[in-house]
Amino acid sequence: MRHHSPTMSRPSPDIAVVIPAWNAAPFLEATVASVLRQTYREFEIIIVDDGSTDITGPLADSLAMPGWVKVIHQANAGLSEARNAGAAAVRESVEFLLFLDADDLLEPGALGLLRECLSQNPGVVGAYGLPLGADARGRPRVTRMRDTFGWERLEIVGWRVRRLAVDAPTTFPCMAIWPCIQTAGQVLLRRTAMVDAGAWKTMPGEDWEMWLRLTALAPLARAPKVVLLKRNIPGSLSTNGKWLAQAEPMIRRSLMRPPYTPSQQRIARVAHAHSCLIKASWAAGEVRRGRVGSGLRNARRAGLSAARFVAIEAARVAAEL
């Protein structure tokens, strides 16, 4: 799918779309085209070829356009380092960053919608919309927003939880329960907030870890509209259960240390306890629907999460003695 080059005459962009690409040749051109089709035109694209061993590098070079699409090549360093390299290469005029996976597709109005949401919410670190799950060909598997990842959200209030309204911002007391953002491509971030939060870390669950650091500074505004098609590609990190399973205990432990304040650490402990109950409810729901195998797997996850909660609390109490 070849795109038409946009006109070269335009103002300096205030949005940079960073696309880390590792062996993404089957999808990269369509992903770049989805950005070039945006109705909001003040953007630049930075493709970071992260040491690909297929034709991603030459393909990225063929997509380069002066003033619009820049390509960086680096030795393979992983997703987070590719994002960091792209962020470091943006122009001085750029105020906002979006980190788009090389196999996902932005909806045509996504950048404009998120940019407007940020304008209307000056106190937030970023704004995000909703993803629709799609197959490898980019065909949606979900059709209703209510069924999208992260539609329903809870927030810690004292020792309890409350359900958030669909257009309410996502706060640290919400994000500490469970990640409600599926992929970084949904989120338009203020560059200044990224500087304050720090670089992406190479670790399991790097997205959730970043959302926690950001929402510890200020909320993320949410626009309850679809902004992205999220391809579900077998073998990708987002579908790698073992990789994702490593994330939660590491992140839960990190929440008990600075930069999180004592108040945020207390919220994180309450959120961890409620996440155990939520996992148990998932297990019970699966069993009620006759999905015993899935119910048992969820019950095991709930048990492991509860055991981790006890271990973290025991370590905390011991350190305070």
Tens-place pLDDT, residues 115-132:
999 999 999 999 999 999
Q: What is the DSSP string of 217-265?
A: TS-EEEEEEEEEEEE--TTSGGG-HHHHHTHHHHHHHHTTSTTS-HHHH
Q: pTM of the predicted model, to two decimals?
A: 0.91
pLDDT band, residue 7 (cuts 50/70/90): very low
**Cβ distance 163 to 274 under 8 Å?**
no
Tokens found for residue 181: 């953002």
Query: Which neighbouring-strand residues pair with 221?
Result: 127
Measure the CA–CA gap between 194 and 125, rounded to whole angstroms. Answer: 8
Centroid of chain to Cα 40: 21
**Cβ distance 130 to 225 under 8 Å?**
yes
SS3 189: strand
User: What is the pLDDT at residue 4?
Assistant: 45
Element (H, E) at 42: none
250-262 core/surface letters (b: 16 or more CB in 10 A; e: else): ebbebbbeeebee
User: What is the pLDDT at residue 114?
Assistant: 98
Query: Which neighbouring-strand residues pair with 127?
Result: 188, 221
Question: Over 90: is that where the pLDDT of 287 sits?
Answer: no
Among 53-62, 103-112, 275-284, 306-315, the minimum mean pLDDT is found in 306-315
* Mean pLDDT estimate for the chain: 90
Q: Give the residue ranges of DSSP H helices in 77-179.
A: 79-88, 110-120, 172-175
User: What is the pLDDT at residue 242?
Assistant: 58
Taking residues 143-152, report their average pLDDT. Answer: 86
Question: Over 90: is that where the pLDDT of 293 sits?
Answer: no
> pLDDT tens for residues 37-68?
999 999 999 999 999 999 999 999 999 999 99
Taking residues 174-186, report their average pLDDT. Answer: 96
User: What is the pLDDT at residue 239?
Assistant: 44
> pLDDT tens for residues 217-263?
999 999 999 999 998 866 555 544 556 667 899 999 999 999 999 99
SS3 160: strand
Task: Give the Cα-Cα-Cα angle 273, 274, 275 (nearest 5 degrees).
Answer: 90
> pLDDT tens for residues 262-275?
999 999 999 999 99
Fold of 15-247: Spore Coat Polysaccharide Biosynthesis Protein SpsA; Chain A (3.90.550)
Q: Give the residue ranges of DSSP H helices in 125-177.
A: 172-175
Of residues 75, 123, 101, the one with CA closest to residue 17: 101
- What are the sequence ranges of the domains in the chain? 15-247, 255-320
